[in-house]
Amino acid sequence: MVRWRVLLLLSIVPSFHLSAQVSFHIAAGPRYTTTMVHDSIVNPFDLRPALAPALLLSVRDELSPGWSADVTLDLTHAGLRRYETSGTFDAGSFTAIAFTVGLRHQVKPHVTARVAAGGLKYAADATGVFRQGNGGLFPIAALGMTYDIKRFEIDARYDVHRFSTPALRSVGFTDARPVHRFSVTVSARVLGGERSP
């Protein structure tokens, strides 16, 4: 499934006329994700992903000087940890797959702000919180700041979505929980224009 989505994004590239306005980027770095499930009533516990690598592939197109748009495929494979008063336990793993469409604006030389929206889906084995399904496609909103140095960029990224699954709802977790994700990545332009903000 992940491979299919990567190939889909790569297939977008030839559809653009690769001028100085269009560029293809790859980014990687660590990602921290906040608690996905919290219970403080019966048996207090938190379910939270471990710190994990993020991989992002994006195509960027300049709209006008200082403004550009992008489409980004964002992949994170993380282990889940269950934190209880008696200790910490392995709770499986998942791959989070997000697809966003973003708008970027250069706010000062070498510094660009980004806002984006899209969808996020979890790919996981049918165990634990995913034993009755992955919850479907979750809307996601994202913000970011970028500092560019020639062909490379340093990105500070933040996004948020609301998480729930059928298994959680079946045991009384009726409300979806906001999940916040933070990452710092290093990005390289691998194809296309000399510079796109």
* pLDDT (tens digit per residue) in 117-159: 999 999 999 888 899 999 999 999 999 999 998 779 999 999 9
The whole model's pTM is what? 0.84
Q: Would you state the pLDDT for residue 173?
A: 82
Q: What is the mean pLDDT of residues 69-88?
A: 91
**Between 43 and 19, the higher pLDDT residue:** 43
- pLDDT tens, position by position, 148-188: 987 799 999 999 999 999 988 888 888 889 999 999 999 99
Q: Which residues fall within 8 angstroms of residue 186, CB to CB, at 6 or more apart?
A: 27, 28, 29, 152, 153, 154, 155
Compute the average pLDDT of residues 97-118.
Answer: 97
pLDDT band, residue 191 (cuts 50/70/90): confident
97 residue type, one letter: I
CATH classification (class only), 2-192: mainly beta
H-run or E-run covering 39:
strand 37-39
Q: What's the pLDDT at 110?
A: 93
Helix intervals (H) in 107-189: 166-170
Residue ranges covered by each domain of the chain: 2-192
Element of type H or E holding 138: strand 138-149
